[in-house]
């Protein structure tokens, strides 16, 4: 069947104000790149003419500057979920120009199938290949494409000419039945395949194909510094001690790692920790560091939702796809982040915190409790279901002006009930089996920076009884001191005596 070939502008012209759009991809990988730019241009013209124009965006995770970035700059986003990391969109969210609801990544596909968010008017899907029967080979990210492809009324395909047809076979597309008819998802090791290499789309719903020559445009992370390297070393030393103690099997367990410089440092440490055996990953994102581990033989296999690689590393992988074909599988987000599978496999979950409090609660999303940074992403999927749940962060930022271990977090994403281990550049706090006061003492002694330890001990002593001795009138004093003076170290407990 021949599908219409459209320009991006022609596709955008069909999308009305307040339409619900499902976008392909997971991070910038596999996200649309040209139609969304055209929608943004349309929005600008509509606004100049005095007409309202916004669309509601549903994705797999974050996208890219061509999608979230362009649409946010055009003030063209009405609602947005489930995760984002674009500065322009962040500004819109924090100024309430865009309504963002932060959601665990594993949940969106099922909620959409049940109609929680209304009908899906359009899907925009980046593909590497289109077959005459409507089947498509996806790009480097899957996200929620299987659900969007099935439920969208109309579908535009962005055929990216930079993607090789050799991507065929890298994907494992599987959609579970919904409750009450769901059976187990039969994945028993990270390399298991249970689905198909293509997404099947009803040809009658394909409204057109738009050609693209754009790359994902992912930048490499900054060079690791002494702080992040120390965090990575502390994580590896802890995991090695767990193996020696018999709490992790000698054959090891699958690893999940978040994104960013701290996560990269942890992966770098795993690459150098020769005492640890080669391992597999069951994760949501494979980034540059994992590719290096595969080349070294340290990572045997990576099950993921996306290849979130810098352009340089992506080009290397795609040009050597036969080497990586038996080492990588790309899955939909509801499978890569499935609580069922994470629990079954015994995944070691390693994620990054913005701040942690002395009782073990984690803030992953809100700066000073109010300003959204990115979102919870998949950290909750893995944290709440992993065999071991590890959070890491630097003990201080901004040269010590901000202490990342605080009396009480200013926003809670992961409660004390979900956090097993906290690790900073200062050390490791094992919170398992400890009551709140014991957790606080362990975190202060092992994770807080020395310049903040006495302040935190003073706070703990101020507690007025109860199992968790908070001083509610003083619990956010660190944050107040920062807002008032620019330095958390200026906290004065005498104000609360």
- Return all residues near 191 (Cβ < 8 A) that are at least 6 apart: 280, 301, 303, 329
CA distances from 236 to 255, 271, 319 (A): 12, 10, 32
284 catalytic residue (yes or no) = yes
Three-state SS at 187: coil
User: What ranges do the domains of the chain cover?
Assistant: 8-212, 226-286+347-494
Considering the candidates 284, 314, 334, 355, report the single residue annotated as catalytic: 284
- String of DSSP letters for 352-417: E-SEEETTS-EE-SEETTTEE-S--TTHHHHHTTSSEEEEE--SEEGGGTEESEESS-SS-SB-GG
CA angle 265, 349, 449 (to 5 degrees): 55
- Work out the burial of residue 311: count CB atoms within 10 Å of its CB; fewer than 13 is exposed, 13-18 middle, 19 or more buried: middle
The tokens describing 132, both together, are 């005459």
Give the residue from 365, 328, 336 showing the smallest Cα distance to 143: 336
Q: Which residue has the tokens 């033989």?
A: 297
pLDDT for the residue numbered 1: 62
User: Which residues face 5 on adjacent strands?
Assistant: 209
pLDDT for the residue numbered 193: 98
- Return all residues near 181 (Cβ < 8 A) that are at least 6 apart: none
Question: Using an 8 Å Cβ cutoff, are 264 and 287 in contact?
Answer: yes
What's the pTM?
A: 0.95
* Whole-number Å distance between alpha carbons of 333 and 452: 39
Q: Which regions in the chain score pLDDT beneath 70? A: 1
Name the CATH topology of 8-212. Answer: Glutaconate Coenzyme A-transferase (3.40.1080)
- Kindly report the CATH number that applies to the domain delimited by 226-286+347-494: 3.40.1080.20
Name the CA radius of gyration of the chain, rounded: 23
Answer whether 8-212 and 226-286+347-494 agree in fold. yes
**Residue 181, φ and ψ in degrees, nearest 5:** -100, 0
CA angle 88, 89, 94 (to 5 degrees): 105
pLDDT for the residue numbered 262: 80
- Give CA 99 to chain center in angstroms: 19
pLDDT for the residue numbered 212: 97
């Amino acid at each position: 069947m021949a599908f219409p070939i459209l320009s991006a502008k022609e596709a955008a012209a069909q999308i009305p104000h307040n339409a619900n759009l499902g976008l392909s991809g997971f991070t910038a990988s596999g996200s649309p790149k040209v139609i969304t730019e055209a929608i943004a241009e349309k929005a600008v013209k509509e606004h100049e003419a005095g007409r309202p124009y916004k669309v509601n965006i549903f994705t797999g995770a974050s996208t890219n500057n061509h999608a979230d970035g362009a649409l946010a700059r055009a003030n063209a986003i009405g609602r947005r979920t489930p995760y984002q990391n674009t500065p322009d969109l962040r500004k819109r969210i924090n100024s309430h120009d865009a309504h963002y609801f932060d959601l665990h990544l594993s949940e969106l596909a099922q909620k959409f199938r049940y109609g929680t968010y209304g009908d899906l008017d359009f899907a925009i899907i980046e593909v590497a290949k289109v077959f005459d029967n409507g089947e498509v080979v996806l790009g480097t990210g899957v996200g929620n494409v299987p659900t969007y492809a099935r439920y969208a009324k109309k579908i535009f395909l962005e055929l990216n000419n930079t993607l090789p047809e050799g991507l065929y076979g890298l994907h494992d597309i599987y959609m579970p039945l919904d409750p009450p008819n769901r059976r187990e998802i039969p994945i028993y090791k990270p390399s298991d395949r249970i689905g198909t290499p293509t997404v099947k789309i009803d040809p009658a719903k394909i409204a057109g194909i738009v050609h693209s020559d754009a790359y994902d445009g992912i930048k490499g992370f900054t060079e690791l510094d002494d702080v992040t390297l120390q965090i990575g070393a502390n994580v590896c030393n802890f995991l090695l001690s767990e193996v020696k103690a018999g709490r992790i099997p000698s054959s090891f367990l699958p690893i999940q790692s978040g994104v960013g410089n701290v996560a990269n440092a942890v992966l770098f440490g795993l690459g150098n920790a020769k005492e640890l055996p080669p391992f597999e990953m069951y994760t949501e994102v494979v980034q540059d560091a994992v590719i290096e581990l595969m080349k070294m033989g340290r990572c045997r296999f990576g099950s993921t939702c996306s290849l979130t690689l810098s352009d340089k590393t992506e080009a290397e992988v795609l040009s050597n796809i036969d080497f990586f074909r038996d080492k990588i599988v790309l899955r939909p987000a509801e499978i890569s982040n499935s609580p069922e599978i994470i629990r079954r496999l015994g995944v070691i979950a390693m994620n990054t915190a913005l701040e942690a409090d002395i009782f073990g609660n984690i803030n992953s999303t809100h700066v000073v409790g109010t300003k959204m940074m990115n979102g919870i992403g998949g950290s909750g999927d893995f944290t709440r279901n992993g065999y071991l749940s590890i959070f890491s962060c630097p003990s201080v930022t901004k040269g010590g002006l901000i202490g990342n271990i605080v009396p009480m977090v200013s926003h809670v994403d992961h409660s004390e009930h979900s956090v097993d281990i906290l690790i900073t550049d200062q050390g490791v706090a094992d919170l398992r089996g400890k009551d709140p006061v014991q957790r606080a003492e362990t975190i202060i002694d092992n994770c807080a920076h020395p310049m903040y330890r006495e302040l935190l001990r003073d706070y703990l002593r101020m507690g007025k009884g109860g199992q968790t001795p908070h001083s509610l009138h003083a619990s956010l004093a660190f944050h107040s001191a920062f807002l008032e003076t620019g330095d958390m170290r200026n906290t004065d407990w005498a104000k609360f005596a």
